[in-house]
Chains A and B, each alone.
Chain A
Amino acid sequence: MVSVNFKLSDIGRIEIRLDRQLTLATLLELCEKQAGIDLWGIIAIRRGQVLTKNSLVEDGDEIDIFPAISGG
């Protein structure tokens, strides 16, 4: 199971079972389908490291997703 925590968002937590490694981009597409959402501009972090869209994720990962906003 990979847990995707959408921070500062009403989406909350999405859990998806993976039987193989996927790219973050593919995982996010699965999240969009499961939750019926369109993701737009995010920052993904796993164990304190930023993930790129090509980063591989696997079962057991816990990923925090932040909206990509800015300060003022």
Chain B
Amino acid sequence: MFSMLRINTATGKTTTETFTSKDFLLGGRTLSSRLVSREVPADCDPLGKKNKLFFCTGVLCGTTVSSSDRLSIGGKSPLTGGIKESNAGGIVGTRMAQQGLRCIVLEDAPDENGGWKIVVVGKDKTEFLDGEFLAGKGVYEKSDLLSARFGLKAGCITIGPTAEKLLYATGIACSDPHGVCSRYAGRGGLGAVMASKKVIALVILGDGEVKPEFKDQEAFKAGAKKIVQLLKENPVSSLFTKYGTAAMVDICQALKVLPTRNFRHGVMEGAEKINAQTMYDTIKARSGEGKTQHACMHPCAIQCSNVYPDKDGKLLCSPIEYETMALMGSNLCLQDLDAIATMNRIANDAGVDTLDVGAAIGVAMEAGLADFGDTAAAIRLMEEVRTLSPLGRILASGCKIAAKVLGVRHAPHVLGQAIPAYEPRGTKGMAMTYLSSPMGADHTFGFTLRDEEVPTSKEGKVALSKKIQVIGSRMDAMGMCNFVRYSVRDDMTPLLDLVRFRYGVAISEEEFDDIVKETLRIEHQFNLDAGITAKDYRFTETFYEQAQSETGEKMDITDEESALARKW
């Protein structure tokens, strides 16, 4: 039996419903996308009262299984106009599980002139509190105020000042294990959706008393240990522990797909100044609060996150991920990790997606608003975002809108969502994934790069992308961290056994993959119903017209090929 707490943000009424279906059993993106599809009219205004915002935990959340407590947040995206699931680590999923909740949904919307509210979910009641005192404040200050009021153990979800203004590239910040709202469901503008409901924070109190139940507790314990063993033994997972995702800087530079100069190039001179080794050495040398290894949730055997300190050893930003290092670093020709960390911190405080705003700044630089490589100018542009200047609001609306306003044709996005940190002309597998994701350009949706024998060729990439879409989507489908997939990509039984030991429900690998594929079908149907057509799944024309200098490659994937990669 799984519980969903419905919260009507217009009336304040709350109801709890229970379900037994496999959608609710699996949770994560399996659940969020089905609920969005069933309950949100595809053609609705994403910032209107018909949209809903779903917060879903996964099938093993609240147990001792490593990396299983991610929170999937779903709704209709204002950025793409389609379906969206964006997920984050942190402790909110754990707190929901302790309250016995698989899903919380924010429904309806109050009058636009209504005041900001904090919705507090506890074991005895759900209540709406005045949240006006948080309005206009940065996420870090909001986080401190929420922790002071509700305790460090509370799982807090909040938005930044940019989301309060309903800007499209805004995310949702979730409490990390230290009580800091720094774990972002960053993509797709879901921060603006939360703001449209006048909910400035959603707090899951730490007073939940629900403990996980098991059909076979001893087998479950052994199975959980096996997952840790698999993660420890897997060389890829163990590499994440040392370097985190930053290891991709060198790999992408070598493959000539490191986004550089607004995705004009795939190689940046001086990339070694912002690579994993430099970051590792810098954190070690500065010591203090810096950590090369850090868990975004508990329990986690991978611990790929980091804490990047300033020159005095004080926390500057946590975490810094490869995607941000590329979009706010190489893409702007910045060779300064401190600058990237500073921009990342400002982005987290303002409540924006580092990818979309990094790409928007790249567009602004191409428009001549600043020089590529100008560190001070890049930070100044981020300050414009934080202070909500007119230019800052444009940047916080994402790279597609920024490009239109600033008169730049070479806008790196698909469906309005910025391209992640792999230059698509140099990796046709990733390009195929960008063009076939129902969420807009998304790397986690089907990370082909490591499996591409000839990255510059589109041959075989429909099949490869589809294969990896299933592998990648398996983790989202269960609410697990994506990096667990390396340990189970050829054999999902260790995770499916855990589902059986916990719930007594046997799901075969084939049945599970059918559920994953059905999720993809549902998501694509939602987009179709929302009015998104095959012609929208394209890069801007410049990617097809102009060769990327280092690879000499143009985009050559046709509409028909990308349509095949979306067919399930």
- In the complex, chain B residues whose CB is within 8 Å of the CB of A50: 255, 452-455
A68 touching B321 by the CB < 8 A rule? no
B236 touching A40 by the CB < 8 A rule? yes
B255 touching A68 by the CB < 8 A rule? no
Partner of A68, one of B250, B254, B420, B450: B450
Partner of A71, one of B321, B451, B453, B486: B321
B 373-410 to A, binary, CB cutoff 8 A, 1 in contact else 0: 00000000000000000000000000000000000000
B251 touching A43 by the CB < 8 A rule? yes
A71 touching B420 by the CB < 8 A rule? yes
- In the complex, chain B residues whose CB is within 8 Å of the CB of A70: 245, 248, 443-444, 447, 449-450, 482-483
Query: With A and B bound together, what is the CA distance between A4 and B323 in angstroms?
Result: 28
Query: With A and B bound together, what is the CA distance between A40 and B322 in angstroms?
Result: 22
Residues of A8-67 contacting chain B, CB below 8 A: 8-9, 38, 40-41, 43, 45, 48, 50, 52-53, 64, 66-67
B482 touching A72 by the CB < 8 A rule? yes
* Distance between A65 CB and nearest chain B CB, rounded to angstroms: 10
- In the complex, chain A residues whose CB is within 8 Å of the CB of B282: none
B243 within 8 A of A: yes
B277 within 8 A of A: yes
Query: With A and B bound together, what is the CA distance between A47 and B220 in angstroms?
Result: 49
B304 within 8 A of A: yes
Residues of B427-451 contacting chain A, CB below 8 A: 443-444, 447, 449-451
B210 within 8 A of A: no
A8 touching B454 by the CB < 8 A rule? no
B236 touching A71 by the CB < 8 A rule? no
- In the complex, chain B residues whose CB is within 8 Å of the CB of A72: 244-245, 304, 321-323, 444, 482-483
Closest residue of B by beta carbon distance from A66: B251
B256 within 8 A of A: yes
Partner of A69, one of B240, B256, B550: B240
* Distance between B550 CB and nearest chain A CB, rounded to angstroms: 8
Query: With A and B bound together, what is the CA distance between A71 and B421 in angstroms?
Result: 8
Query: With A and B bound together, what is the CA distance between A18 and B452 in angstroms?
Result: 27
Interface residues on B, range: 35 or more
Query: With A and B bound together, what is the CA distance between A8 and B243 in angstroms?
Result: 8
B239 within 8 A of A: yes
Closest residue of A by beta carbon distance from B454: A50
A71 touching B323 by the CB < 8 A rule? yes
Interface residues on A, range: 20 to 34
B276 within 8 A of A: yes
- In the complex, chain B residues whose CB is within 8 Å of the CB of A67: 235-236, 239, 247, 251
Closest residue of B by beta carbon distance from A64: B254
- In the complex, chain A residues whose CB is within 8 Å of the CB of B255: 43, 45, 50
- In the complex, chain B residues whose CB is within 8 Å of the CB of A52: 453-454
Residues of B215-243 contacting chain A, CB below 8 A: 234-236, 239-240, 243
Query: With A and B bound together, what is the CA distance between A9 and B239 in angstroms?
Result: 8
Closest residue of A by beta carbon distance from B245: A72
Query: With A and B bound together, what is the CA distance between A55 and B53 in angstroms?
Result: 50
Closest residue of B by beta carbon distance from A52: B453
Of the listed residues A48, A52, A53, the one surrounded by the most CB atoms of chain B closer than 10 A to its CB is A48
Query: With A and B bound together, what is the CA distance between A70 and B257 in angstroms?
Result: 13
* Distance between B77 CB and nearest chain A CB, rounded to angstroms: 20
Query: With A and B bound together, what is the CA distance between A58 and B182 in angstroms?
Result: 49
B239 touching A69 by the CB < 8 A rule? yes
Known: A8-B276, A66-B250, A72-B323. A48 touches B450 (CB 8 A): no
Query: With A and B bound together, what is the CA distance between A45 and B257 in angstroms?
Result: 13
- In the complex, chain A residues whose CB is within 8 Å of the CB of B447: 70-71
B454 touching A41 by the CB < 8 A rule? no
Query: With A and B bound together, what is the CA distance between A67 and B251 in angstroms?
Result: 8
Closest residue of A by beta carbon distance from B276: A8
Query: With A and B bound together, what is the CA distance between A72 and B453 in angstroms?
Result: 22
- In the complex, chain A residues whose CB is within 8 Å of the CB of B256: 48
Query: With A and B bound together, what is the CA distance between A45 and B456 in angstroms?
Result: 13
A8 touching B247 by the CB < 8 A rule? yes
Closest residue of A by beta carbon distance from B243: A8
B 486-509 to A, binary, CB cutoff 8 A, 1 in contact else 0: 100000000000000000000000
Partner of B251, one of A9, A53, A69: A69
- In the complex, chain A residues whose CB is within 8 Å of the CB of B450: 41, 43, 68-70
* Distance between A50 CB and nearest chain B CB, rounded to angstroms: 6
Of the listed residues B243, B251, B420, the one surrounded by the most CB atoms of chain A closer than 10 A to its CB is B251
* Distance between B88 CB and nearest chain A CB, rounded to angstroms: 11
Known: A48-B256, A66-B250. A71 touches B245 (CB 8 A): yes
A69 touching B248 by the CB < 8 A rule? yes
* Distance between A38 CB and nearest chain B CB, rounded to angstroms: 8
A69 touching B323 by the CB < 8 A rule? no
Residue ranges of A at the interface with B (Cβ–Cβ < 8 Å): 7-9, 38, 40-41, 43, 45, 48, 50, 52-53, 64, 66-72
By Cβ-Cβ distance, the 10 closest A-B pairs, closest first, are A68-B450, A72-B245, A71-B322, A52-B453, A70-B447, A66-B251, A71-B248, A45-B254, A71-B245, A72-B321
Residue ranges of B at the interface with A (Cβ–Cβ < 8 Å): 234-236, 239-240, 243-245, 247-248, 250-251, 254-256, 276-277, 304, 321-323, 420-422, 443-444, 447, 449-455, 482-483, 486, 550
Task: List 9 contacting pairs A-B, 8 Å CB cutoff, sorted by A.
Answer: A9-B239, A43-B254, A64-B254, A70-B443, A70-B444, A71-B245, A71-B248, A71-B421, A72-B245
* Extra pairs beyond A69-B245, A72-B245 (12, CB < 8 Å): A40-B234, A40-B235, A40-B236, A41-B486, A48-B256, A66-B251, A67-B235, A69-B486, A70-B449, A70-B482, A71-B322, A71-B447
